[in-house]
Amino acid sequence: MNLRTIRQLHRQLAPIVLLPFLVTAITGMGYRLSKDWFGFSRDQVHFLMVIHEGEYLGDFFKPIYVLLNGLALLWMLGTGTAMAVSSIRKSGWLRRPKKTEEPATD
């Protein structure tokens, strides 16, 4: 798969996974910070974990949601990294300096 194809697939998938990623990130952070920083009990913020884990989708769709969300995250990280590395290489940041021969001293 060439970089152009990867870029197109990344661009097509990004709008689809944006909302699930935002919901997962916001509810995960909200749950942890509410408990640790604001002193809420587990029962008071459990609704955030229900949203975070997709429990509202039911027993059948919950594992599918988790699987697709995880695979999409890995795909976006992988393709994003590939595009970033390619861009950095083109800019010259990752190029190794050419070795120059030192004149022989006798």
Q: What is the pLDDT of residues 21-34, one digit of tens each?
A: 999 999 999 999 99
Q: How confident is the model at residue 47 (pLDDT cuts 50, 70, 90)?
A: very high
Region 48-67: mean pLDDT is 95
User: Rounded to 5 degrees, what are φ and ψ at 93?
Assistant: -70, -35
Residue 102 has pLDDT above 80, yes or no: no
Among residues 38, 15, 78, the alpha carbon closest in space to that of 29 is found at 38
Contact 45, 35 (CB under 8 A): yes
The predicted pLDDT at position 86 comes to 87
**CA dist 10 to 15, 21, 24, 38, 48, Å?**
9, 14, 19, 37, 29
Q: How confident is the model at residue 69 (pLDDT cuts 50, 70, 90)?
A: very high
